[in-house]
Each structure stands twice: as C-alpha cells, then as structure tokens.
A and B are shown apart, each in its own frame.
Chain A
C-alpha cells in the first residue's frame, strides 16, 4: 500500500506499553476536536472526539485529554498493539454549522513486538 506521512514525527513504542500522542491546535474558537487513525493505503478512520466543555473522554483503550488553556490535545492508547501502527491526526472543527475539519500534520506510531 501507499505510505502516508513519509517524513512525519515518529513515536516508537513496545507492544503492550502505553502510547501518548500530542497535538497543538491553532484556533481558540474551535470547540470540537477529533482524533483520526490512517493506515497505509486507507482513508482516515475516526477514533474519538471531545467537545470543549470537557477535558477528558475515554473510549475503548483510548483516552483523549484537552487543555484549552494551552491549546493542547493528547491521545493516550493503552496496551498498544501492532495493529495500532498507523499515522494519527488530530483535527479541530472551528464551527460555523458544517463539518469542515482542520487536520494537523500527523504523528506516525510504530509498535515493535
């Protein structure tokens, strides 16, 4: 398949460890944030979202943290598995009544056995 993000920052973790992927967003007016996972040769896949009235939200093995003060978002993946290897994008929705998403540059997660 095609390679996504040839020159992206890479986070390398051991299988079973926890992973933390960080993201800084730009627009103070954004009130809705989303994490996507993109595997090679595929389109992005929704992972989890969070609105600005929350600072933490948990899903299955994933947790998103939002710090509005410093405009920072993080995605925590518990017990990282080889299938988690992909490029991860944070995205912000600046609002306006439609789903225009502004994606970050992405982070490649490499999981080693």
Chain B
C-alpha cells in the first residue's frame, strides 16, 4: 500500500520567491496536516485540512497558506520566502479529524538562500 507521498523531496529557493509543496495522503484518509521541522527540533504544526476545509492553523504568518483538493491531496504554499523558512516540511494524513495517529510522509526539504 502506498504511504503518504510528498513532492518535491528537495528544493532550493532564494529569498522573496514562492514555493508550492504537494502531498498525497494514504487512500481513504480525509485529513491532511502540515508540519514544519527545523533541524534539531520537533515538528511544528502549520495547518490541518479535513474534508477540504481548514480545521486548524498554527502560529505561522499569512505567507503560509494551504488547500485540500476533492481527491484529498493538498498543497502548501509559502510566499516571500525568508531564510528562516528553511526546514523540512512534513505532510501527515489520518483517518479521523481528531486522532494522534498521523501517518507522515518523508518530507520536502526546503533550503532558502
């Protein structure tokens, strides 16, 4: 069975640019969450989408946005990139809206120069 897939796996951008990260959840999972993991730290919650609606938002600026499509895949967009946005961006899917059992992808490593 396919797990959570994310693309691209690695990318390099410069300050001020925009980036779009993509995630395909496990088949049947309707919830997708996005986390940012800075090197040496635990993942930090950015967004949760369930049934195509935003259900939760973490403490991130409005430069961060996301959406979920009818097939439950999701995109995370970050505008006006800053050096501090360099991190591993993790997508996780789950069956339910309120569960701690998340299935994470391997992440998209973003480097901002």
Chain A residues engaging chain B, CB cutoff 8 angstroms: 2-8, 32-34, 41-46, 49, 89, 91, 93, 95-106
Check if A105 sits within 8 Å of B97, measured CB to CB: no
Shortest Cβ gap from B77 to chain A (Å): 20
Contacts of A93 in B (CB 8 A): 98, 100
Contacts of A45 in B (CB 8 A): 104
> Quick one: closest B residue to A90, CB to CB?
B42
Shortest Cβ gap from A82 to chain B (Å): 21
Contacts of A105 in B (CB 8 A): 41-42
Check if B100 sits within 8 Å of A44, measured CB to CB: no
> Quick one: closest A residue to B55, CB to CB?
A98
Count the A-B residue pairs with Cβ separation under 8 angstroms: how many? 82
**Considering the complex, which residues of chain B in the window 2-19 have a beta carbon less than 8 Å from any beta carbon of chain A?**
4
Check if A98 sits within 8 Å of B90, measured CB to CB: no
Query: Which of A5, A49, A101, A106 has most B Cβ within 10 Å?
Result: A101
Check if B58 sits within 8 Å of A43, measured CB to CB: no
- 13 other A-B residue contacts (CB within 8 Å) besides A43-B92, A100-B58: A3-B39, A6-B39, A6-B40, A7-B40, A33-B100, A34-B100, A43-B107, A49-B101, A89-B43, A97-B97, A100-B45, A103-B42, A103-B44
Chain B residues engaging chain A, CB cutoff 8 angstroms: 4, 31, 33, 35, 37, 39-45, 48, 50, 55-56, 58, 88, 90, 92, 94, 96-107, 109
> Quick one: closest A residue to B90, CB to CB?
A43
Chain A interface secondary structure, helix, strand, loop or mixed?
A: loop
Would you mind naming 11 contact pairs between A and B with Cβ atoms under 8 Å apart?
A43-B104, A43-B106, A43-B107, A44-B102, A46-B102, A49-B100, A93-B98, A98-B56, A99-B97, A100-B48, A105-B41
Complexed CA–CA distance, A44 and B91 (Å) = 10
> Quick one: closest B residue to A103, CB to CB?
B42
Contacts of A98 in B (CB 8 A): 48, 50, 55-56, 97-98
